[in-house]
Amino acid sequence: MSKPLSFYSKALVVLSSTSLFIQQLPLQADASETKAEVLHHTKSHFNKFTGKVVGKNVRLRTHPDLEGHVVRELEKNELLVVVDEKDDFYVVEPASDFKAYVFRSFVLDNVVEGSRVNIRLFPDLEAPIIGHLSAGQRIDGKICEKNSKWLEINAPAETRFFVAKEYLEYAGVPELKALTDKRKMQAMQLLESTILLTQAELRKPFEEVAKDRIVKGFQTLINDYKDFPEIFEKAKESLLSFNEKYLERKISYLEMKATHTAANTVSEEVFSLDSNALPYTSDLLTDRMKIWEPVEESLYLSWASMHRAKTIDDFYADQKLKAVSISGILEAYVDPVKNKPGDLVLKERDVPIAYVYSTHVNLHSLIGKRVNLTVTERPNNNFAFPAFYVLDAE
């Protein structure tokens, strides 16, 4: 009895092993197929990155070929998020504020009424199609200003455009584009707020103008946002414009103050053009020289923007290298005119040859004397004779 049982037991073991082997075969095959699919997926995976445009007038296209419609021309150094590649082109995302268009007849109360409604590049039935909307899909759009038959919407997130690979280079991780856009927005907000502050401050009395706040705002843009050329140049222009307006206000203020001081401290005979006496007290001399400090500060700031880490002493050292010598007799220029290019006139044989001023040399102590002046040219504000800043006098 034990023999047959032993035989059957062995047979059962063999059958069980065979069955287990057969059951395992599909599992092993599935595992091999899954591994192959993973390897294939890994090989085809594309690492997103931020690309920088390296050429001028580079074309952004709707399709990855030279026949693809040109969406727009990209600027040099512009950033794009690259999400894939196709042949000789990179696949890129549109800008976050990129607009697309949908025909209004297919949308009711911001809900799409048709199936596979075309999203077009611009508001025209002949415009390239860049995507589709499904029935029932909600959209947030506004009536197009150029053509009221169309709705303007933000381009869908899945929209893709194409740029030739040779015109894009790696700039950084995918997040770099968003971070740069955020930084640019901050710069634009600072520029706008500083311009508005400038307009508000210049409406105040001169002594209340917050010059330091305005200059600090523009200098921050000039120093920290050079990677945005348009903002950088606008900040430089705005700072120069403010300095010029502030200077005009300061000159008017100091002239009024000086006139008031002179009326109380100097006799009327001193101001007579026929008098050979010095027409100013020592206090008035200081005020007269200070009038020109904003002019020189503005010229220095303009020069310093092209000469980094240079002081105002460096500026005047550079001015001396370009200096010339002129000579004549100094006379006060007391005519009540605006934008005069100097507060003294240099004459030769009673004929004016130049307007002069200085913040370094007390020229008023030399009035009525023949002098040799070391000078550098300044704007003459369309007056009849050239204007100079005096660096030295003998």
Which stretches within the chain are classed as H helix? Answer: 2-44, 175-201, 211-224, 229-265, 282-290, 293-304, 312-321
Cβ count within 10 A of residue 79: 21
In angstroms, rounded to a whole number, what is the distance separating the alpha carbons of residues 299 and 283? 26
What 8-state DSSP symbol labels residue 306? T
Q: What percent of the chain has pLDDT over 70?
A: 81
Listed in sequence order, the DSSP H helices in 45-142 are: none
Residue 386, sorted as left (phi over 0), alpha (psi -120 to 50) or beta, turns out to be beta
Give 165's DSSP letter.
G
Give the pLDDT means over successive 10-residue stretches in the chain (394 positions): 45 43 39 37 74 93 93 92 95 92 91 91 93 91 91 92 95 93 92 92 88 92 92 94 90 75 46 40 56 82 80 90 92 79 88 90 88 92 90 90
Using an 8 Å Cβ cutoff, are 171 and 79 in contact? yes
Distance CA 165, CA 185 (A): 28
Spatial CB neighbours of 376, under 8 Å, sequence gap ≥ 6: 319, 320, 322, 323, 324, 388, 389, 391
Q: In what order do the strands lie in the sheet with 161-164?
A: 70-74, 58-61, 161-164, 89-92, 79-86, 49-53, 168-172
Supply the pLDDT for residue 248: 87
**pLDDT attached to residue 334:** 75
Q: What is the pTM of this model?
A: 0.51
**Is the CB of residue 389 less than 8 Å from the CB of residue 319?**
yes
Model pLDDT, residue 261: 56
> Alpha-carbon distance 160 to 60, whole Å?
10
Beta carbons of 387 and 354 less than 8 angstroms apart: yes
Residues 332-360: pLDDT tens digits?
887 777 778 888 999 988 889 999 999 88
Per-residue model confidence as pLDDT tens digits over 6-25: 444 444 444 344 444 334 43
Which residues are CB-contacts of 236 (< 8 A; sequence separation ≥ 6)? 218, 222, 305
What pLDDT is recorded for position 39? 34
**Predicted pLDDT at 311:** 87
